[in-house]
Structure 1
Amino acid sequence: MALKELFDLHGKVALITGGSRGLGLQMAQALGEYGATVVLTARKQNELDEAKAHLEGLGIQAHVFSNDLGQFETIDPTVEKILAEVGQIDILVNNAGATWGAPTLEHPPEAWLKVMNVNVNGLFLITQSVLKRSMVPRGKGRIINIASVAGLQGNDPRMSPTLAYNTSKGAVVNFTRALAAEFAGRGITVNSICPGYFPTKMTQGTLAYGEQAILEHTPMGRLGTDADLGGLALLLASDASAYITGQNIAVDGGITSV
């Protein structure tokens, strides 16, 4: 097979949770540019509609479904609706996430549960649903979890404490390894991308508080851009990564190298 054919996603359906903006939309665009039909889920219908219009303006076939991963009872019905209306899910990008910044001694229990329910429990449930209903019966699939460099290390004391977020993303890192090992012989690969600091709605507070400290600690001396995740997402979603599984790959300008 020619190398360019390994990256071809025509005929594939890619489900991207939290895909209406930020990193999710960036990755949806990358997969769509290489032929995938993209399915976006997120909580806010207006943002989904804007994302769909943006993608279709680029010639990308896109479908949107409003869903909140923190509402567990909605997950299976949403997956079933996608399968009925769009088709089998070949690629799952677990991108939806939540965060909360607070000193540990002042961290509200309800905020801890919100972060865990979206970043860990909801991620598990939608992965389980897609595996059961689409990937395992067909013996093939690509799962890409969006973890974070926060799951690979502790928090710089100069930054706002984010214990729940760091803990949840550390869970995603090992979730990736364990799931990859379990399904390695069943045609399904599981990898994660661990972004560093990108200017998104979720990171607005962090960047407002500590952007200078982040840049000083980043060997490349810059934040991530709209072009920095698409290539890796495409690799992990395509046949070019058929022998790659269980990996947690940092895209962070070198933060985790020092």
Structure 2
Amino acid sequence: MKQILGWIAGTALLALAACHAPDNASSKQAAGSMELKVYSVPPAQTGQLTGALRSALGGKASVTSPTPGKLLVYAAPDAQASIGKAIASLGPVSSTPSAATQVDLHLWVIDGESGAGADDAALKPLASALDGVRQNIAPLHFSLDQMITARTSAGDDGTSVVSAVDGGYSRGVDFMVRGIDGEMLDLELSYDDHGQRGLAKFKSEVHLRAGQYVVLAQGPGACAPALLGKSAPPCPTRPALRLLIVRADILPPQA
């Protein structure tokens, strides 16, 4: 699938270069014309195809997806011809809409304390990821601040979770699975900690394998902030490090 995406992007770029080359008056006239076309594509690959075409076409065309399985492309006719041929190479798209692949997403907010010590028992499944952090930084032991879970579908508008944190403030997390290729996922995630301390805001796109624990971000540790009119929660020792770790699990098709 990755090779096909690269070929689609390449053919779009070649077509764009051809239709905008200033060879003569007729080519300039063709370059100025634009047309809108709708393409049917595999629903699970909609996000990947949209991203590949946007990267290739840049500001010379517009690529949008109103729904999984459909692409709207506004581009020059020569580019449309090449894009159409490339998309056709993906094979026939079933006329019967298939259910979008569902994905369970898990995000761990973890604090690292300086020195040797036992990790929280709840973090045992993440041991290999945490050991990697220890090897790269210093002796640390880890405690779980919060775990956030969500279920979403590949190619949809994403899922948002707002959760309460001890101390009364909230965290917001937005997940979007842009596409799935076998066991690999293209995930977009944004994190907003309304405590506004330590690792407060983060946004990333990551290509990861299903079932893999991935350290998305690490930043300075932070004590919980004081709320308006209240004192801050006890925090005798500020954590040395804060981590964001994510895992995505592809769910089997529903019967």
Structure with bigger strand share is: 2
Larger Rg: 2
- More relative contact order in 1 or in 2 (CA 8 Å, sep 6+)? 1
Do the two structures share a fold, i.e. TM-score over 0.5? Answer: no
Structure with bigger helix share is: 1
